[in-house]
Amino acid sequence: MANPLYGQNKQDDMLDALASADDNIVTAGTGTGSAGEPAHADAEKVLPVTIGGVVYYIPLYASNADA
């Protein structure tokens, strides 16, 4: 998907990932430093986004309730 903010010929991986989020959401890893590590972010799912050839994982939470 072209990003209208940057012109019609430039790819925007974030917009692509969000546009097809149902297809791209994956279970978060639970290893050290991972988005699903229980001692830290503890996300259940992540949205992988590739930026400059590097895959980054945006943590997703099903709840935003106060503790």
Q: Residues 17-63: pLDDT tens digits?
A: 677 777 888 899 999 989 999 998 899 999 888 777 888 898 988 88
Which alpha helices (H) appear in the chain, and where do they start and end?
13-19, 21-24
* Nearest residue to 19 (alpha-carbon basis) of 6, 7, 3: 3
Looking at per-residue confidence, does 5 or 38 come out higher? 38
Phi–psi pair at 58, nearest 5 degrees: -90, 120
Quote the pLDDT of residue 5: 54
Residues contacting 4, CB < 8 A, separation 6+ = none
Q: Are 59 and 44 in contact (CB under 8 A)?
A: no
